[in-house]
Amino acid sequence: MSEKTPVAAAYPRLSLAYFLQFAIWGSYGFALTGYVSSVLNFPGNHVGWIGAAIPIGAILAPMLVAPLADRYFAAQKVLAFLHLLAGILLCFAGRQEAFMPMLLAMIAVGMCYMPTIALLNSIVFEHVPDRNNAPRVFMFGTMGWIAVVLFIQAFFGGGSTNDFFDVAAGCCFLLAVYALTLPNTPPKGAADGDVMGLKAFALFKKPAFFVFVFALLLAGIPACGLFFTLCVPMLMQGGYPAPLALTTINQFSEVVFMFLLPILAARFGLKNVLLIGIAAWFLRYFCFMEQVFSLALVGLCLHGLAYAFFYAASYMYGDKVASDDMKASVQGLIATLVLGVGQVCGSVLAGYLMYTYPAQMTEFTYETAPAAVAAPADSEAVTVAAPAETAAPADSAAPADSAAPADSAAPADSAAPADS
C-alpha cells in the first residue's frame, strides 16, 4: 500500500516485526560461541573469529545493501529478501563442523541480517511520527530476545546442539513473509545516506568529540566483543544452572533501564547518565572476578544499566552534538564503531586470550582483560561526560584488575575443556 498506515494500526504491526527481528539475534547471539567452543571443540582463536563474523558482516554490509533501499526498492521488500537469504545461510551454517565454512557462512549471515536492523528502524520512524514513542516498539525487540532464549533453553538444550540455528532460520523465514505486509516505505530516490558515518569525521576537529568517539571504541572492545563472546562459556565454566537462560537477565534489566533512560536523562542530564553507565561497566566486570553465583547474577542485572546508560545515551549524545546535516552520519559512525569495529576487535582478542591462556581463562579473560581495555576508554569518556575530577575512580580501578590473578586458578584449569 502506498498511503501511510494510521499510527494506531502501525504500532502492533511494527512491534511484532521488532519481536521477530531480535528473536533472530537472540537465537544465536549468546549460544553461538558456547556451541563452537564446547560442542565443536574449536580452539580459542577460532572461537574469537566466529564471534567476530557477524560484526564483520555489519562492517561490510552497509556499502552493499543501503543503496538498494535508498534508491531502488521499498524498505519492506529489501527487508523480506535479506531475511530470506539469512534464513537459508543459517540453515547451512548450523550443519557445518569445520571452522572455515562456519566462519564464511556466519559472515554472510551478518551481511544479510545486520542491515535489516536499520531497515526496520527506517520503517518504524517513517510510520511513527513522534520519535519519542519509538521505544514503545523497540522494547518488543528485547522481549523477542528473551522469549526465544528461554524457548531454546527449555526445548533445545540451551545451545548444546545445533538446533538454535534452525530456530533462528525459522524466525528469519517468518519475518521474511511478514515483512511484505508491513506499511509501504518507498525509496527516497537519492543516495545521499552516509551509512558508514564518513561525514561525521568533520567533527573530529572538536577535541571533545574526538575523545568521545575514541572512548566509545575502546569501551566497545570489552563490552561488545570480550563479554558477549565469552558470556555463555564463562557461565558454563562456573557450573551455573541453565547458562543460556541466565543471559536473559541482561534483557530483563535492559527493558527496565531503557524505560528509565529518558526520564533520568531529563532530570540529571546526559553527562551524568553517561557517567553512571561507565561506572556500571566497571561494576559488571568486577562481579565476575570470582566464581560466585550471587555476584554473577548482579553482574548480569547490571547489563541493562550499563548498556542503556552508556551506549543508548551515546546515540543521544551524538544526536546532540551533530548538526542537522550530520545527524545520520554520526549515528552511522557510532553504530559502525560499536557493532562493527569494537566487536570484531573484542571477539578476536577474546579468542586470542582463550587460545594463549587456556589455564587462566577465568582469571585473565573475564577479569583483567575487559577492565584493562575499558579503563582508558572510561577515563576518557568521563572527560567528555563530566568534570575532570570525576575521572579518578575510573583510573583507580586498575589496581583491582591487577590483583585479579590472586584468585585461585584451579577452577579455571579444571573447567578449561568446556571452553576449549
Place of cell 590483583: 403
In the Cβ-directed half-sphere of 216, how many Cα atoms lie within 13 Å? 29
> Considering the chain, what is the average pLDDT of its residues?
76
Cβ atoms within 10 Å, residue 332:
23
Closest C-alpha among 113, 222, 116 to residue 169: 113
pLDDT at position 81 over 80: yes
Taking residues 171-180, report their average pLDDT.
Answer: 96
Place of cell 566497545: 220
User: What pLDDT does 101 receive?
Assistant: 95
pLDDT at position 324 over 70: no
pLDDT at position 381 over 70: no
Least confident of 22-31, 59-68, 363-372: 363-372
- Cβ atoms of 136 and 11 closer than 8 Å: yes
Separation of alpha carbons 62 and 332, rounded Å:
10
pLDDT at position 22 over 80: yes
Closest C-alpha among 232, 177, 188 to residue 74: 188
User: What pLDDT does 171 receive?
Assistant: 97
Higher pLDDT, residue 176 or 234 = 176
Entry pTM = 0.70
Taking residues 296-320, report their average pLDDT.
Answer: 81
Which contiguous run of DSSP H or E holds residue 104?
helix 99-127
Least confident of 34-48, 151-165, 309-323: 309-323
The CATH-assigned architecture of domain 1-193 is Up-down Bundle (1.20)
Q: How confident is the model at residue 114 (pLDDT cuts 50, 70, 90)?
A: confident
Which percentage of the chain shows pLDDT scores above 70?
A: 73
Separation of alpha carbons 348 and 47, rounded Å:
8
Separation of alpha carbons 224 and 146, rounded Å:
18
- Cβ atoms of 83 and 176 closer than 8 Å: yes
Higher pLDDT, residue 157 or 249 = 249
pLDDT at position 98 over 90: yes
pLDDT at position 176 over 90: yes
Q: How confident is the model at residue 413 (pLDDT cuts 50, 70, 90)?
A: very low
pLDDT at position 362 over 50: no
Least confident of 76-90, 245-259, 326-340, 385-399: 385-399
Separation of alpha carbons 117 and 41, rounded Å:
31
Residues of the chain with CATH 1.20.1250.20: 1-193, 194-420
Higher pLDDT, residue 389 or 254 = 254
- Cβ atoms of 74 and 187 closer than 8 Å: yes
Beta carbons within 8 Å of 261's beta carbon, 6+ residues apart: 273, 308, 309, 312, 313
Q: Which class does domain 194-420 fall in?
A: mainly alpha
In the Cβ-directed half-sphere of 291, how many Cα atoms lie within 13 Å? 19
CA angle 73, 330, 320 (to 5 degrees): 120
User: What pLDDT does 104 receive?
Assistant: 95
User: What pLDDT does 103 receive?
Assistant: 95
pLDDT at position 326 over 50: yes
